[in-house]
Structure 1
Amino acid sequence: MPRWLLSPLTVVAVLVLCASASAHPSLSPPLAEQGTSQTFTLAVPTEKEGVTTTQIELTPPEGFALEAFVPAAGWKRTTDQTGSGEDVIIRKATFTGGATPSGEAAVIQFVGHGAEAGDYAFRVRQTYSDGTVVAWTGGEGSETPAARVEVKAQIGGGSSSLAIIAFVIATVALVAGAIALLLQAGNRELA
């Protein structure tokens, strides 16, 4: 195997191992700013072999408002809600009709925000095609942890000039790395 391939292959292997080590429902981004609406992605992996995920129930915690959903291909959504318009409160969203096979993840996106700073645990109930149900409602160290988002009063706080400097440094490093890889690839012998 060419030496120039070792670094990229190592990075890919680490990412695959990390992804499989955390095979439970997760929310991204895991950090949000208080009162700021943003789009969140819930990934619900099908961990059980030989079956598909056919239903997902998402229950937001108190103090976290679900405002809207992005249509999820292959899934039909129903909501348990009160109010209407800007005053709607979604207590639970149920997604049915999907068939996410083993080794893949169902992806649900929604727009929402946390009213106060704190740790928010989203209860996820996953139903498999064989009728098995897994309630992802436990604490962080449990076998069935809830999907979590940490909401902070303020995120960042750095100035925009620091962000520009960081971006420039990162860009220079990326270009330098690409040049080094190209030079290394140019030095190898052709068969």
Structure 2
Amino acid sequence: MFNRPLPLLLALLLPVAAAHATVRTETGAGESKVGVSETYRLNVPTEKEISTTEIRLVIPAGVTITRFQVTPGFTRTVKTNAAGLITEVTWRGRIAPQEYARFYFQARNPDAAGPVSWKIYQTYSDGSVALWDGSDPEKAPASTITVQ
């Protein structure tokens, strides 16, 4: 009788425990299909008592960004490679303490199955940068999607 509330409580607390910047599918899934077009969301919570002012997303090899959803209050710039493919996206704006923002974009998944690691760099108003790039798997994990 009391076993059911515990999983529900754990599910509600999971977003708090994993409160770093993450990329997931639009529905929140951590997996997608090989070669398909998918809508992704970059979720960025402010974890300090100061505002987030910039988010930089490095696009993994094999992922092709096709379009972005407008995010009011933010400007977006992109870097491209010689082939014209987007390699980095930077959003500038303000996410206040105890708030988060979601940035939606569409992309075509790689043609091969496996993990896809997204490197995210979150800059705060004091100039400090939170590295969500896997440089320290314990403290700075990269967000990973599994393409199957």
* TM-score range for the pair, normalised by the shorter chain length: 0.7 to 0.9
For 1:126-147, what per-residue CA distance to the aligned partner results, in whole angstroms no more than 9, with x for missing partners?
Answer: 0001111112111794211111
Change (3 A) 1:140 1:69: farther
What does 1:136-151 correspond to in 2, within 5 Å?
A: 136-138=132-134, 141-151=137-147
- Code of the aligned partner of 1:149: I
What does 1:1-191 correspond to in 2, within 5 Å?
A: 13-29=9-25, 30-48=30-48, 50-82=49-81, 88-96=84-92, 98-115=93-110, 116-138=112-134, 141-152=137-148
Q: Which secondary structure state, in structure 2, belongs to the residue aligned with residue 19 of structure 1?
A: helix
Question: Aligned equivalents of 1:140 and 1:118: distance in 2?
Answer: 21
Q: Which secondary structure state, in structure 2, belongs to the residue aligned with residue 18 of structure 1?
A: helix
Q: Which secondary structure state, in structure 1, belongs to the residue aligned with residue 90 of structure 2?
A: strand
Q: Which secondary structure state, in structure 2, belongs to the residue aligned with residue 17 of structure 1?
A: helix
The offset of 1:59, in angstroms, is 0.5
Unaligned stretches of 5+ residues in structure 1 = 1-8, 153-191
Change (3 A) 1:54 1:12: farther
Percent of paired sites with the same residue: 31
For 1:57-98, what per-residue CA distance to the aligned partner results, in whole angstroms no more than 9, with x for missing partners?
Answer: 010111111111111121100000146xxx6300101101x2
Q: Which secondary structure state, in structure 1, belongs to the residue aligned with residue 61 of structure 2?
A: coil
The offset of 1:118, in angstroms, is 1.0
The structure where strand makes up a greater share of residues is 2
- Code of the aligned partner of 1:68: R
Structure index of larger Rg: 1
Question: Aligned equivalents of 2:138 and 2:68: distance in 1?
Answer: 28
Change (3 A) 1:68 1:140: farther
Alignment correspondent of 1:185: none
**Higher RCO, 1 vs 2 (CA within 8 Å, ≥6 residues apart):** 2
Unaligned stretches of 5+ residues in structure 2 = none
- What is the RMSD of the two structures over their aligned residues, measured on CA atoms? 2.4
Q: Which secondary structure state, in structure 1, belongs to the residue aligned with residue 127 of structure 2?
A: coil
Question: Aligned equivalents of 1:24 and 1:107: distance in 2?
Answer: 12
Q: Which secondary structure state, in structure 2, belongs to the residue aligned with residue 47 of structure 1?
A: coil
